A and B are shown apart, each in its own frame.
Chain A
Amino acid sequence: MNTYPKNVKVDENNNKNIYKGIYGHRFHKDQTFYEYLIEFLLIFVSAKNNRNENEMEFHTLVEDGKKLEYYVKPRMGLRRFIFFERGMQSKNIPEDREAYEELCNILKEKIDGISDKDLFLEKIQDLLHGYAAVIKNRRWCEQMLLPVCPELVFCEAMPDDKKRINNFKSEDKKTSGNKMKIVDSFEFKKHNFLARGGEVYYLHILQELEKREDKYRIELEGKLKHFLCNDSKKISSIANWIQDNWDLSCSDRDDKIVKLAMGYIPSDAYKESAKYTVDELNTFLSNQLTPMNRIELLACGINLQIMRMMSEATHKYMNKGKNCWIVDISKEKEMRKIAVANFDENIDMFMEAINKEYENYMNENDINDRMEEIKLYNDGRKHIIDNFKARGKELKVIIPSNGKYERFSLSEDVVKFLVLSIIEPNSKMTLDKFLEEIYNHYGFVIGPNEFAKCNKMDISLKNYFLKNKEAFREFIKNIGFLKDLSDATALVENPYQEVENL
Chain B
Amino acid sequence: MKNKFVDYLNSLNNVSACNENAYAESNYSNEYYKYVEVKRGIGKHIIKILENEEPCIIILTGHAGDGKTSLLFQVMHELGCIEDNNLKMTDEVTLPSGKQCYYVKDFSEISEKLDKMKDMLSYVENGKFVFLVANTGPLINSFVDVMPEENRDEAHRLIIDLIDANKGKIENILGYKICSINVATVDNTGFVREFINKITNDKLWEDCNMCEKKDNCFIYNNVELIRKNKNQVSDFLSNHYLWQQEHDKKLTIRQIAAHLSFMISGARSCDNIKLNDDKYKYLFSNLLFGYEGYSLSIAASRLKAIEEIKNNKYDIKKTFVDEKLFINNDFKDLTEDIREYFKYEGKKNGYNLDWQKSIKRAYLLMNIETDKEKKELLQKNIFSKWFTRYKELIKGESVIANDEKLIIDALWMLFVGNLSNDKEIPITMKREKGVMQNVQITIATLSKKSIRLKTCDEISLKVDMIDENYKGIYIYIHGKKVDTHISLPLFNYFEDIRKGIISTNIDPKLSRGLDAIKAQILKYALEDIDREDYEISIYSDEEIEFIIDKIDNILTIN
Q: Which residues of A contact B (CB under 8 A)?
A: 110-114, 119-120, 123-124, 126-127, 130-132, 146, 148, 230-235, 237-238, 241, 244-245, 248, 288-293, 296, 412, 426-430, 432-433, 477-481, 483-489, 491, 495-497
> In the complex, A410→B553 CA distance in Å?
49
Stretch at the interface among B14-22, B309-317, B436-444: B436-444
Known contacts A114-B546, A114-B557, A127-B439; A231 and B429 CB within 8 A of each other = yes
Q: Collect the chain A residues with CB atoms within 8 Å of residue B66's CB.
A: 486
B191 to chain A, nearest CB (A): 17
Known contacts A478-B509, A480-B512, A496-B516; A132 and B435 CB within 8 A of each other = yes
B519, B551, B557: the one within 8 Å of A289 (CB): B519
A113, A292, A433, A487: the one within 8 Å of B61 (CB): A487
B438, B519, B540, B546: the one within 8 Å of A288 (CB): B519
B157, B184, B483: the one within 8 Å of A484 (CB): B184
* Chain B 43-57 interface mask (CB, 8 Å, partner A; 1/0): 000000000000000
Q: Which residues of B contact A (CB under 8 A)?
A: 61-64, 66, 135-137, 140, 156-157, 160-161, 163-164, 182-185, 248, 429-433, 435-444, 483-484, 508-513, 515-516, 518-520, 522-523, 526, 534, 536, 538, 540, 544, 546, 548-549, 551-558
Whether A496 contacts B519 by the Cβ 8 Å rule is yes
Whether B536 contacts A292 by the Cβ 8 Å rule is no
Whether B519 contacts A487 by the Cβ 8 Å rule is no
Known contacts A288-B516, A489-B140; A231 and B546 CB within 8 A of each other = no
Q: Collect the chain A residues with CB atoms within 8 Å of residue B161's CB.
A: 428
Extra A-B contacts (4), CB below 8 Å, given A123-B538, A130-B436, A488-B137 = A126-B540, A130-B435, A233-B443, A433-B156
> In the complex, A111→B557 CA distance in Å?
7
A112, A237, A484, A485: the one within 8 Å of B536 (CB): A237
> In the complex, A96→B210 CA distance in Å?
103
Known contacts A127-B439, A491-B164; A497 and B483 CB within 8 A of each other = yes
A119, A244, A288, A485: the one within 8 Å of B163 (CB): A485
B164, B438, B510: the one within 8 Å of A126 (CB): B438
Q: Collect the chain B residues with CB atoms within 8 Å of residue A233's CB.
A: 443
Closest A residue by C-beta to B526 = A231
Q: Collect the chain B residues with CB atoms within 8 Å of residue A119's CB.
A: 544
> In the complex, A131→B546 CA distance in Å?
19
The 7 closest A-B pairs by CB, nearest first: A480-B512, A130-B437, A489-B136, A113-B557, A486-B184, A126-B439, A480-B509
Whether B164 contacts A485 by the Cβ 8 Å rule is yes
Q: Collect the chain A residues with CB atoms within 8 Å of residue B509's CB.
A: 477-480
Closest B residue by C-beta to A110 = B554
Whether B63 contacts A288 by the Cβ 8 Å rule is no
> In the complex, A428→B548 CA distance in Å?
44
Closest A residue by C-beta to B431 = A292
A-B contact list, 16 entries, CB within 8 Å:
A112-B555, A123-B540, A126-B437, A230-B526, A234-B442, A241-B552, A288-B520, A288-B523, A290-B518, A293-B515, A293-B519, A296-B433, A428-B160, A428-B161, A491-B164, A495-B512
Residue among A130, A241, A486 with max Cβ neighbours from chain B (10 Å): A486
B151 to chain A, nearest CB (A): 16
Whether B441 contacts A244 by the Cβ 8 Å rule is no
Known contacts A489-B136, A497-B483; A113 and B556 CB within 8 A of each other = yes
Whether B554 contacts A430 by the Cβ 8 Å rule is no
Q: Collect the chain B residues with CB atoms within 8 Å of residue A487's CB.
A: 61-64, 135-137, 184
Whether A238 contacts B137 by the Cβ 8 Å rule is no
> In the complex, A46→B370 CA distance in Å?
73
Residue among A241, A290, A429, A491 with max Cβ neighbours from chain B (10 Å): A290
Q: Collect the chain A residues with CB atoms within 8 Å of residue B508's CB.
A: 412, 478-480
A489 to chain B, nearest CB (A): 4
Q: Collect the chain A residues with CB atoms within 8 Å of residue B443's CB.
A: 231-235, 291
Q: Collect the chain B residues with CB atoms within 8 Å of residue A296's CB.
A: 432-433
A257 to chain B, nearest CB (A): 22
Whether A127 contacts B63 by the Cβ 8 Å rule is no
Whether B63 contacts A123 by the Cβ 8 Å rule is no
Q: Collect the chain A residues with CB atoms within 8 Å of residue B549's CB.
A: 113
Known contacts A486-B62, A486-B63; A480 and B441 CB within 8 A of each other = no
> In the complex, A442→B183 CA distance in Å?
36
Known contacts A112-B555, A238-B551, A290-B522; A486 and B435 CB within 8 A of each other = no
B324 to chain A, nearest CB (A): 40
> In the complex, A113→B551 CA distance in Å?
12
Q: Collect the chain B residues with CB atoms within 8 Å of residue A244's CB.
A: 553
A292, A479, A486: the one within 8 Å of B430 (CB): A292
Whether A430 contacts B160 by the Cβ 8 Å rule is yes
> In the complex, A484→B512 CA distance in Å?
16
Known contacts A292-B430, A486-B184; A111 and B62 CB within 8 A of each other = no
Whether B135 contacts A111 by the Cβ 8 Å rule is no
A124, A288, A480: the one within 8 Å of B511 (CB): A480
Q: Collect the chain A residues with CB atoms within 8 Å of residue B156's CB.
A: 429-430, 433
Whether B432 contacts A293 by the Cβ 8 Å rule is yes
Q: Collect the chain B residues with CB atoms within 8 Å of residue A291's CB.
A: 429, 443, 522
Closest A residue by C-beta to B529 = A233
Whether A110 contacts B432 by the Cβ 8 Å rule is no
Known contacts A479-B508, A496-B516; A111 and B554 CB within 8 A of each other = yes
Closest A residue by C-beta to B482 = A497
> In the complex, A244→B553 CA distance in Å?
8
> In the complex, A130→B429 CA distance in Å?
10
Closest A residue by C-beta to B553 = A110
> In the complex, A293→B157 CA distance in Å?
28
Closest B residue by C-beta to A248 = B553
> In the complex, A426→B165 CA distance in Å?
13
Q: Collect the chain B residues with CB atoms within 8 Å of residue A120's CB.
A: 546, 557
Whether A486 contacts B182 by the Cβ 8 Å rule is yes
B71 to chain A, nearest CB (A): 13
Whether A130 contacts B431 by the Cβ 8 Å rule is yes
Q: Collect the chain A residues with CB atoms within 8 Å of residue B555's CB.
A: 110-112, 238, 241
Q: Collect the chain B residues with CB atoms within 8 Å of residue A288's CB.
A: 516, 519-520, 523
> In the complex, A496→B482 CA distance in Å?
11
> In the complex, A432→B144 CA distance in Å?
14
Known contacts A112-B555, A238-B536, A290-B518; A486 and B136 CB within 8 A of each other = yes
B485 to chain A, nearest CB (A): 10
Q: Collect the chain A residues with CB atoms within 8 Å of residue B438's CB.
A: 126, 130
B64, B439, B556: the one within 8 Å of A130 (CB): B439
> In the complex, A127→B539 CA distance in Å?
9
Q: Collect the chain A residues with CB atoms within 8 Å of residue B557's CB.
A: 111-114, 120
Q: Collect the chain B residues with CB atoms within 8 Å of residue A127's CB.
A: 437, 439-441, 538
Q: Collect the chain B residues with CB atoms within 8 Å of residue A248's CB.
A: 553
Q: Collect the chain B residues with CB atoms within 8 Å of residue A241's CB.
A: 551-553, 555
> In the complex, A495→B62 CA distance in Å?
22
> In the complex, A142→B65 CA distance in Å?
63
A440 to chain B, nearest CB (A): 14
Closest B residue by C-beta to A148 = B429
A217 to chain B, nearest CB (A): 24
A114 to chain B, nearest CB (A): 5
Q: Collect the chain B residues with CB atoms within 8 Å of residue A477's CB.
A: 509
Whether A489 contacts B137 by the Cβ 8 Å rule is yes
Whether B520 contacts A112 by the Cβ 8 Å rule is no
> In the complex, A171→B513 CA distance in Å?
66
A285 to chain B, nearest CB (A): 13
Whether B512 contacts A481 by the Cβ 8 Å rule is yes
Q: Collect the chain A residues with CB atoms within 8 Å of residue B431's CB.
A: 130-131, 146, 292
Q: Collect the chain B residues with CB atoms within 8 Å of residue A290's CB.
A: 432, 515, 518-519, 522
Whether B432 contacts A495 by the Cβ 8 Å rule is no
> In the complex, A355→B520 CA distance in Å?
51
A114, A231, A483: the one within 8 Å of B522 (CB): A231
> In the complex, A244→B554 CA distance in Å?
11
Whether B429 contacts A232 by the Cβ 8 Å rule is yes
Whether A497 contacts B164 by the Cβ 8 Å rule is no
B160, B429, B513, B546: the one within 8 Å of A429 (CB): B160
> In the complex, A489→B140 CA distance in Å?
9
